[in-house]
Structure 1
Amino acid sequence: MKTIASCVDEIIMSSPFLEEGLSRDIINFSALAKDLNHTISQMLRKPVKDGAIMMALRRHQQPLNLDNSVPLKRVFKNLGDITVRSNLSDFTFQNSKSLINSHTQVLEKISANQQIFYAFTRGMFESNIIISTSEKESISKAFKNEVLIGQQDKLSAISIYLPKGNSKIAGLYYQIFKRLAWERITLYEVVSTTNEFTIVVEDLLVDKAFSVIKRLKD
């Protein structure tokens, strides 16, 4: 059976910014209780008192403050080079039996040119390609028989080289995404390997995103 406490926990867990504010003691419990009253009353299908909600907020178990994690701080201090690549285009195709052959054609053409940015991701139903805009024509030719779901130009990629062992550090990606979200930076795509993490944003956001990433080392 749902209780006020369980409703409070559910709301907070589904609202990362709210959880962040509570963990930093920068949210007024009384004001928040009043704000949540209508939602919790609907969840319980009966009126509830602000005081009961405020008590549940105070008793809510905050998660471990990952900001102060020693391993996490060490990883950010030891971040490697941050590389920015501009003039990129993004293509999304519907998966098909012939898609891999089209992909192979592009790889054969660009393999000798190390200056070309190329990232390929295959999902359950669609595949994504991020490539230097100079190769748009190559993509159009190689994938002419495939179903194009979406295409976007004027993109930039910011790649971060992570220290070895980063995959065992809890909260690493959360901290990166959180700081980008606080600055209202929309991520167009995210690509990662074991020791490299790349975000793709629209050109108009790249300077702001780079500043956020660079401050991770501070």
Structure 2
Amino acid sequence: MKTISSVVEQYIKKKPFLQSALAQGIINLTSLSRIVKPEIEEELGKEVRNGAIVMALKRLSGDMEFRATHRIIKVLKEIGEITVRSSLTDFTFLVSDSILENQTELLETVNRNKDVFYTSSRGVNELNIVVSNTLDDTVEQLFKNEKCTQKSENLSSITVKLPAENTQVPGIYYFIFQRLAWEGIVLYEVISTTNEFTILVNDDQVDVAFKTIKDLKML
């Protein structure tokens, strides 16, 4: 049997940003109840008082605050090294039969110069390469016969070391990226391994992005 509480909970769970804002107590519950009322009534097949929805939201927000954030915050407090690199360029190439050979040559160049930044990721149709801008000419020369769909300069990276527990707790990345979104940070690229992720942002946003991530350790 459907209840007001169960229907309200299902409605909120389908809207992640709303769920997080509700857990943090930054939403006017009376106003929210008026907005969701038509959908709640349609799901239940009967009229529902605003007060009943408000009460369901109150109970839900208290429960969510613990469930959604307690384990996440515990992990975020254990964030390790945060590394920032600037003066980066992002290249995107279409995947081809020869592109791995070109990438191998680039890696040989990178290995001879330990001071440069390099990271790469490959999708089904695209290969993404991020390098220090001192390697721009090298990349363009090695990949001159490849199809470059995009090149962006004046970028910075922030690499974050996460504790091993991050793979056992749902919502870690959502929690971090949500905070960045609230600060108006545009994520140009996101590259991750099991216990580490790197975001790429414009140079003029790197200071705010770094502070936002660092402040997560103080929650």
Q: TM-score range by the shorter chain?
A: 0.7 to 0.9
| Equivalent-residue separation in structure 1 for 2:151 and 2:14 (angstroms) | 31
Alignment-derived partner of residue 91 in structure 1: 91
Deviation for aligned residue 1:92 = 0.9
Deviation for aligned residue 1:197 = 1.5
Alignment-derived partner of residue 100 in structure 1: 100
The letter of the residue matching 2:16 is: P
Deviation for aligned residue 1:21 = 2.3
C-alpha deviations, 1:23-67, integer Å up to 9, x for none? 2343223312434568x49xx6xxx97846x74565465656332
Deviation for aligned residue 1:8 = 6.0
Do the aligned partners of residues 78 and 33 (structure 1) sit closer, same or farther apart at CA in structure 2, a change above 3 Å counting? closer
Deviation for aligned residue 1:15 = 3.1
Say if 2:8 and 2:56, in contact at 8 Å, map to a contact too. no
Deviation for aligned residue 1:109 = 1.4
Say if 1:75 and 1:163, in contact at 8 Å, map to a contact too. yes
Task: Output aligned runs, 1:35-184, within 5 Å.
Answer: 35-36=35-36, 40=39, 51=49, 55-56=52-53, 58-59=55-56, 63=64, 65-69=67-71, 72-184=72-184
Do the aligned partners of residues 128 and 14 (structure 1) sit closer, same or farther apart at CA in structure 2, a change above 3 Å counting? farther
| Equivalent-residue separation in structure 2 for 1:109 and 1:155 (angstroms) | 21
RMSD of aligned Cα (Å): 3.0
| Equivalent-residue separation in structure 2 for 1:89 and 1:6 (angstroms) | 49
TM-score by length of 2: 0.81
Say if 2:156 and 2:200, in contact at 8 Å, map to a contact too. yes
| Equivalent-residue separation in structure 2 for 1:96 and 1:187 (angstroms) | 27
Percent identity, please.
40
Deviation for aligned residue 1:185 = 1.0
| Equivalent-residue separation in structure 2 for 1:32 and 1:146 (angstroms) | 52
Unaligned runs of 5+ in 1: none
| Count of residue correspondences | 211
The letter of the residue matching 2:133 is: T
SS in 1 for 2:164: coil
Do the aligned partners of residues 142 and 35 (structure 1) sit closer, same or farther apart at CA in structure 2, a change above 3 Å counting? same
Do the aligned partners of residues 29 and 195 (structure 1) sit closer, same or farther apart at CA in structure 2, a change above 3 Å counting? closer
| Equivalent-residue separation in structure 1 for 2:97 and 2:134 (angstroms) | 27
| Equivalent-residue separation in structure 2 for 1:77 and 1:87 (angstroms) | 29
| Equivalent-residue separation in structure 1 for 2:187 and 2:105 (angstroms) | 29
Say if 1:120 and 1:128, in contact at 8 Å, map to a contact too. yes
Deviation for aligned residue 1:217 = 1.2
| Equivalent-residue separation in structure 2 for 1:75 and 1:210 (angstroms) | 18
Do the aligned partners of residues 76 and 9 (structure 1) sit closer, same or farther apart at CA in structure 2, a change above 3 Å counting? closer
